[in-house]
Amino acid sequence: MTTSHLLISREGAVTTVTVNRPESRNALNAGAIDDLRRAALELRHDEGVRAVVVTGAGDKAFVAGADIGELAALTPASARALSQRGQHVFDLLEHLGKPVIAAVNGYALGGGCELALACTLRLAAESARFGQPEVNLGLLPGYGGTQRLARLVGRGRALELMLRGHAIDAAEAWRIGLVDRVVPSADVLPAAQQLAAELADKPPLAVRAILEAVNRGLDMPLADAQAYEATLFGLVAGTDDMKEGTRAFLEKRKPVFRGR
């Protein structure tokens, strides 16, 4: 699955996707976006993959933004199409049906911050920096950033980040809830892969149901979201994994989940 813009490796049930454009601090050009789309579609349908880690090549940047040269050439029509394409790809990652862990190993700016926001969980190196600086280019975030950032950290904090266009360090990102954990820079990828391996060991149907309940339920009225939760609870209760999990608990042994 390795492409001209991505390095893709697999260990057990965990796949690591590395944006591999270190010469441009892993900026997301059109080719990288298309490669992420193809990778997401393949990973979604690969039952052997139960968790995914996304990171950037090198130790300077996770993804430092979009390709400014491409942005400078945009027309209103092509800009709208680019935004829709990026949103589609990041929606695929958010709704992959399995956990996606961002190992943020450096700058996560613009499209890079939006990529991290689309992941299930975010681990940040102490050296990482986050921001949505599009306003400084006369633009706004276009890959879902205006929506995901506000939902994650709240309206006021999101607006300050987007309107000022400044970057914050990993400690501040953790304080406002933008990232879930900050680790020493050398440990960020191993820590993300270890977390992914832990999640990959969980029953995949229950994991998928949890992701669906949260992702979809947050956009529903509470009563509708709880009804959706109850439906998913009923469906998961009929799986072999549920029977194995409860049986293993009663028998005081480790369960073996098979995704059935």
pLDDT (0 to 100) of residue 110: 96
| 196 and 212 fall within a common domain | no
Query: Is the Cβ–Cβ distance between 162 and 134 less than 8 Å?
Result: yes
| 127 and 232 fall within a common domain | no
Q: Residue type for 242, please?
A: M
Residue 187 located in a structural domain? yes
H helix or E strand, kind and range, residue 168: strand 167-169
Strand partners, 63: 108
Residue 258 located in a structural domain? no
Q: Which two tokens stand for residue 45?
A: 């349908």
Across the chain, how many H-helices and E-strands are there?
A: 11, 10
Residue 240 belongs to domain with CATH number? 1.10.12
C-alpha angle 20-8-101 in degrees, rounded to nearest 5: 90
Report the SS3 class of residue 181: strand
Question: Phi/psi class of residue 124: alpha, beta or left (left: φ > 0; alpha: ψ in -120 to 50)?
Answer: beta
pTM, 2 dp: 0.94
pLDDT by residue for the chain (260 residues), tens only, comes to 677 899 999 999 999 999 999 889 999 999 999 999 999 999 999 999 999 999 999 989 999 988 888 888 889 999 999 999 999 999 999 999 999 999 999 999 999 999 999 999 999 999 999 999 999 999 999 999 999 999 999 999 999 999 999 999 999 999 999 999 999 999 999 999 999 999 999 999 999 999 999 999 999 999 999 999 999 999 999 999 999 899 989 999 898 898 88
Alpha carbon distance 54, 35 (integer Å): 13
Query: Is the Cβ–Cβ distance between 151 and 118 less than 8 Å?
Result: no
H helix or E strand, kind and range, residue 124: strand 121-125
Query: Is the Cβ–Cβ distance between 240 and 258 less than 8 Å?
Result: yes
| 168 and 107 fall within a common domain | yes
Alpha carbon distance 31, 3 (integer Å): 10
pLDDT (0 to 100) of residue 47: 93
| 109 and 128 fall within a common domain | yes
Q: Considering its fold, how many domains does the chain have in total?
A: 2
| 57 and 180 fall within a common domain | yes
Q: Which residues are tagged catalytic?
A: 114, 134
- The parent domain of residue 238 ranges over 204-250
Query: Is the Cβ–Cβ distance between 235 and 260 less than 8 Å?
Result: no
Residue 260 located in a structural domain? no
Residue 147 located in a structural domain? yes
Residue 1 located in a structural domain? no
pLDDT (0 to 100) of residue 260: 87
Residue 10 belongs to domain with CATH number? 3.90.226.10
Residue 81 located in a structural domain? yes
Report the SS3 class of residue 183: strand
| 210 and 166 fall within a common domain | no
Residue 165 located in a structural domain? yes
**Burial of residue 79, with CB atoms counted within 10 A of its CB: 0-12 exposed, 13-18 middle, 19 or more buried:** middle
Query: Is the Cβ–Cβ distance between 40 and 92 less than 8 Å?
Result: yes
C-alpha angle 49-15-103 in degrees, rounded to nearest 5: 130
Residue 255 located in a structural domain? no
DSSP state, residue 133: G
Alpha carbon distance 90, 86 (integer Å): 6
Question: Phi/psi class of residue 105: alpha, beta or left (left: φ > 0; alpha: ψ in -120 to 50)?
Answer: alpha
Closest CA to 194 of 99, 126, 96: 99
